[in-house]
Amino acid sequence: MSELVTNLARVRERMARAAARAGRNHEDITLVAVSKTRPAETIREAYHAGVRHFGENRVQEWESKQAALSDVDATWQLIGHLQSNKARRAAGLFHSVDSVDSVALAQKLNSALADMASEGSGKISLGVLIELRVSPEETKTGVEEEDLPALVEAVLTLPHLELRGLMCVPPFFDDPEKARPFFRRLREARDALRSHLGSKFLRPGGESFLAELSMGMSHDFEVAIEEGATQVRVGSAIFGARTA
């Protein structure tokens, strides 16, 4: 077995054990393999090993790899910060943008999709997650908690964006247990939005409003699963340490 296959089995086992501890069904948790800095052949190998969701953090990098993987039927997700001036390209390249953090960016993505739809490209909607800034670090991205409800309401009015949930990137701690309050904060922010906006946007199956919580990376995804993650973003635990 290749190292990647072994690593993948280990990650899936860690996911299953964390889910069991939390009394959750491990099938409700999606593994998003973070393939930034990895070449197309490695991504293809992960696909053959069963991975169906991939996360990339830069538009340009994915643009350069995409052609070599056009036959691979996977879900490609942008998990890194997106500048408004690259929104149009991102809208065409990804199935979802998981780092939406402003109304302006959401509007740019929506209008890009509107244009693509009218050109008959076949693509009429884009999945989005809203990134909440849970970290006190200045450099970290995401919308501030006080601005979150307004952003959610704005995204819900944009017909080409399909709002699926929330995402966060806590600060790095050697002890993953220290990330727990940040993961909990994302879940509680989602629960608060559900009770504030739920009645307004209630429809059959309304309990799935903001169903997705994307949180947890290689060193802390078990804690994230215990706190309700539905998508974990795992890079180095699958592909090995990044050199870049």
Q: Which stretch binds ligand PLP (CB under 6 A): 43-51, 104-112, 200-208, 232-240?
A: 232-240
Give me the residue whose beta carbon is nearest to ligand PLP. Answer: 235
Of residues 96 and 218, the one with the C-beta less far from ligand PLP: 218
Tokens in use for 146?
Answer: 């006080």
Query: Can residue 7 be called a binding residue for ligand PLP (CB under 6 A)?
Result: no
Site for ligand PLP in 190-229 (CB under 6 A): 217-218
User: Closest by alpha carbon to 186, among 164, 202, 201, 167?
Assistant: 167
Report DSSP state, residue 28: G
Strand partners of residue 71: none
Site for ligand PLP in 84-143 (CB under 6 A): none
Query: Can residue 234 be called a binding residue for ligand PLP (CB under 6 A)?
Result: yes
Least separation, in Å, of the C-beta of 208 and ligand PLP?
A: 24
Helix (H, G, I), strand (E, B) or coil at 179: helix
Least separation, in Å, of the C-beta of 25 and ligand PLP?
A: 23
Site for ligand PLP in 26-45 (CB under 6 A): 34, 36
b/e code 54-70 from CB counts within 10 Å (16+ = b): bbbbbbebbeebeeebe
Non-local (6+) Cβ contacts of 58 within 8 A are 36, 80
Least separation, in Å, of the C-beta of 105 and ligand PLP?
A: 16
Site for ligand PLP in 60-79 (CB under 6 A): 79
Non-local (6+) Cβ contacts of 57 within 8 A are 34, 36, 78, 79, 80, 81
C-alpha distances (whole Å) from 169 to each of 90, 142, 161, 175 are: 20, 9, 22, 15
Of residues 31 and 155, the one with the C-beta less far from ligand PLP: 31
Binding-residue total with ligand PLP (CB under 6 A): 13
Q: Is the dihedral of CA 6, 10, 13, 15 positive or negative?
A: negative
> Which of 7, 35, 57, 231 lies at the binding interface for ligand PLP (CB under 6 A)?
57
Count of residues making up the chain: 244
Least separation, in Å, of the C-beta of 178 and ligand PLP?
A: 15
d(CA 75, CA 194): 26
Least separation, in Å, of the C-beta of 241 and ligand PLP?
A: 8
> Which of 19, 46, 47, 80 lies at the binding interface for ligand PLP (CB under 6 A)?
80
Of residues 79 and 143, the one with the C-beta less far from ligand PLP: 79
Site for ligand PLP in 163-182 (CB under 6 A): 169
Chain centre to alpha carbon of residue 54: 9
Residues that bind ligand PLP in the complex, under the rule CB under 6 A = 34, 36, 57, 79-80, 169, 217-218, 233-237
